Amino acid sequence: MTTFPASSASNELVQRVAANLAGVRARIASTGRDPSSVRIVAVTKTFGADAVRAACAAGLRAVGENYVDELEAKHNEASDVDVRWHYLGALQTNKIARVSKAADLLCGVSRVKEIEKIADSRPGMAIYVQVDFTGAQGRNGADPSEVIGLVARAREAGLDVQGLMTVAPVGAEGAHRAFAGTAGLADDLGLRERSMGMSDDLEIACALGASEVRIGRALFGPRMASTALT
């Protein structure tokens, strides 16, 4: 299992994250949104447990991880920190039991077999269904035409479907299309959560109704070199 230093975050790191967080909130406000109406998920992948502690010290209570090993390691090493763990990565059915144990919310659900495995591993688990508006091969997420059926199946299986998630293609036009489409689907399905927008496109997402944005680089700086994590 991957391990990270469990020491408390340095004052310098806490101050830097707090200053960067203020900048992110100012960007949200520039769209006309009240920053308090948009949840900021601190994406700590490739950073250590000190990043989780710094985010918490700055006032954030949601942390996002993309790799199972990192999620488990930081969940254990920062077990005293009061945060909600979001698993953002694509789900591998043979690892869903592990992810379901460590995460509070699974954000990348996009297939019926994942829904069934989650329901077996952790009945009532909170999830987002991930939508892909690019149609590009290899990208995680369900085609928009499949989302209504997936949400219905997840509800039938007893899962707590809280919202939708999307990762927009690069460029303002594609981001606008993906975020508007996701918000429209969420409205149609009566879902309150729309997880959309990251460091480069959060303004477009907030203008189109994001309830949360997933921020890594704009909080912590360039991502650290990653080892072979899953």
pLDDT tens string 158-200? 999 999 999 999 899 999 999 999 999 999 999 999 999 999 9
pLDDT digits 0-9 by tens, 56-114: 999 999 999 999 999 999 999 999 999 999 999 999 999 999 999 999 999 999 999 99
Torsion angle, alpha carbons of 103, 159, 157, 102, to 10: 10
> What integer pLDDT is reported at residue 84 of this predicted model?
97
Kindly state the average pLDDT of the residues 117-135: 96
- % of the chain residues with pLDDT over 70: 93
pLDDT at 5 over 60: no
Give the model's pLDDT for residue 172.
93
Give the β-pairing of 84-87 and 193-195: unpaired
Parallel, antiparallel or unpaired: strands 105-109 and 193-195: unpaired
139, amino acid identity? R
Count how many Cα atoms sit within 13 Å of the Cα of residue 187 in the half-sphere of its side chain.
9
Domains of the chain, earliest start first: 11-220 (3.20.20.10)
Give the separation between CA 220 and CA 10, rounded to whole angstroms. Answer: 13
Among 97, 94, 9, 98, which Cα is nearest to 56's? 9
Predicted local distance difference test score (pLDDT) of residue 230: 47
Mean pLDDT of the chain: 92
Q: pLDDT-based confidence at 223, cuts 50/70/90?
A: confident
3-state SS of 2-62? Answer: CCCCCCCCCHHHHHHHHHHHHHHHHHHHCCCCCHHHCEEEEECCCCCHHHHHHHHHCCCCE
The neighbouring-strand residues paired with 106 are 87, 127
